[in-house]
Structure 1
Amino acid sequence: MKANPNDPRVKRTHQLFMQAFMELLEQKKNIYSISVQDITTRATVNRSTFYAHFEDKYAFLEYWMREKFQKIIQQRLPEDLVLNRSSLRTLIQAVFDFLIRFRQYMTPGDKEFEPMFETAMQKEVYQILLKWLTERSGGAALPERAETIANFLSWGIFGSAMQYSRSSQDLKADRMVESVLEVAEISLVAICDYKPSNASD
């Protein structure tokens, strides 16, 4: 029986695993070389408890990635924000910043985890955009249309940030963010009732 993620005890256990994993990463271990046994030993929790919370190491890594990204988003984007130039720029900037920093942890041996991390992050960006689009339309837009727009934009934003994080980064990140913002706004104008703001924010 899977643990209830809303149970405070479960949250505390998850935090123990997260902290243990981060400490192991700080010791210059790559993601590939960190085993479930390493995590549970560092967290002083037995392996059976780990598997009561996560199906395997891959499930834990996806959770770790989403939690790290969600924390950054919560710090930068209050829940009451709506879709406008400022919030869209902040979201794009957060994705770029996170991936550039995350790339520091990746080694050639970690390549196998990249598709999983990419999907986990894209889902988070998708959920934020879908929420904004739904709220903007007041529920008037067809769900399928809002989902399509959110899916299209989330992959565009995330894909641009991922490609940038893998490159030599000759272009400054803030300039790249502005370029992606411009393309995102053009797309929104073309496919929904979005009206870009001329304000600096």
Structure 2
Amino acid sequence: MPVNQNDPRVKRTRQLLIQSFMELLEQKKNIYSISVQDITDRATVNRATFYAHFEDKYAFLECWMREKFQRKLEETLPNCSITNMSSLRTLILTVFDFLARTRQYMTRTPANSQYEPLFEIAMQKELYGLLFRWLSEESSASASQEIVETTALVISWGILGTAVQWSRSSQSRTKEAMVRDVLEVVAAGLAPVM
């Protein structure tokens, strides 16, 4: 039986599971070493409760990453919206910061790399949503809906892909230099719709 996401009890339970995971993460410092059993033990709920809320650990981790990224966006962007190039720069910087900070909890091994696409897709969906809303409101009248959607899709993956590669590398270039260059490329990519 599906759970009602708007039920306050459901929200509290989900929050309890996520909070328990965060506490474990602070102790273990590695996302991949935390099991569903660890989370439910810490939250003092049974495994059936966990699976009533999340299909599996993958779904849980995707939800956790999406919520964490949403909170970061809310902190850095007023009303979680883009209004101009300055707020677009803030968005790009936020993605770079977020990935750099999150990377400390992601020890890369072949066994653990299975989770990274989940995190990247969760973040890309959030980026796409923000960009699509902004471009839908600000695009020129001559820009078709298809071009707006495609532009938001390409730019969201471009920002995220660049930030992912930068966060995985030895970071020989500064974050500020990368953000400046990404903003320049993104601004050029906006030309067909702005």
TM normalised by structure 2 equals: 0.93
- In 2, are the aligned partners of 1:82 and 1:135 still within 8 Å (CA)? no
What is the one-letter code of the residue matched to 1:192? V
- In 1, are the aligned partners of 2:139 and 2:148 still within 8 Å (CA)? no
- In 2, are the aligned partners of 1:83 and 1:133 still within 8 Å (CA)? no
| Aligned equivalent of 1:112 | 114
| Aligned equivalent of 2:154 | 152
| Aligned equivalent of 1:87 | 87
| Aligned equivalent of 1:124 | 126
What is the aligned counterpart of 2:178 among 168, 176, 179?
A: 176
Q: Following TM superposition, by how much is the alpha carbon of 1:28 offset from its aligned partner in structure 2, in angstroms?
A: 2.1
**C-alpha distance in structure 2 between counterparts of 1:151 and 1:145, whole Å:** 10
**Deviations for 1:155-175, whole angstroms, at most 9, x for unmatched residues?**
000001001001111211111
**Deviations for 1:108-130, whole angstroms, at most 9, x for unmatched residues?**
34211011111111111001000
1:54–1:96 CA distance, 2 compared to 1 (3 A): same
**C-alpha distance in structure 2 between counterparts of 1:164 and 1:113, whole Å:** 18
**C-alpha distance in structure 1 between counterparts of 2:170 and 2:8, whole Å:** 43
**C-alpha distance in structure 2 between counterparts of 1:75 and 1:154, whole Å:** 19
**C-alpha distance in structure 1 between counterparts of 2:80 and 2:141, whole Å:** 16
Q: Following TM superposition, by how much is the alpha carbon of 1:31 offset from its aligned partner in structure 2, in angstroms?
A: 1.9
What is the one-letter code of the residue matched to 1:48? A
What is the one-letter code of the residue matched to 2:182? V
| Aligned equivalent of 1:43 | 43
**C-alpha distance in structure 2 between counterparts of 1:32 and 1:88, whole Å:** 32
SS in 1 for 2:113: helix
- In 2, are the aligned partners of 1:92 and 1:181 still within 8 Å (CA)? yes
| Aligned equivalent of 1:196 | none
User: What root-mean-square deviation, in Å, do the aligned CA atoms of Structure 1 and Structure 2 show?
Assistant: 1.6
**C-alpha distance in structure 1 between counterparts of 2:53 and 2:131, whole Å:** 29
| Aligned equivalent of 1:34 | 34
What is the one-letter code of the residue matched to 1:176? M
- Most deviating of 28-37 and 143-152: 28-37
Q: Following TM superposition, by how much is the alpha carbon of 1:32 offset from its aligned partner in structure 2, in angstroms?
A: 2.0
**C-alpha distance in structure 2 between counterparts of 1:60 and 1:4, whole Å:** 16
1:139–1:49 CA distance, 2 compared to 1 (3 A): farther
- In 1, are the aligned partners of 2:69 and 2:123 still within 8 Å (CA)? yes
| Aligned equivalent of 1:185 | 187
SS in 1 for 2:48: helix
- In 2, are the aligned partners of 1:21 and 1:39 still within 8 Å (CA)? yes
Say if 2:24 is the partner of 1:24.
yes
- In 2, are the aligned partners of 1:82 and 1:136 still within 8 Å (CA)? no
What is the one-letter code of the residue matched to 2:179? V
**C-alpha distance in structure 2 between counterparts of 1:145 and 1:41, whole Å:** 49
**Deviations for 1:85-130, whole angstroms, at most 9, x for unmatched residues?**
1110011011000000010001134211011111111111001000
TM normalised by structure 1 equals: 0.90
What is the one-letter code of the residue matched to 1:123? K
SS in 2 for 1:73: helix
| Aligned equivalent of 2:58 | 58
Q: Structure 2: which 5+ runs fail to align?
A: none
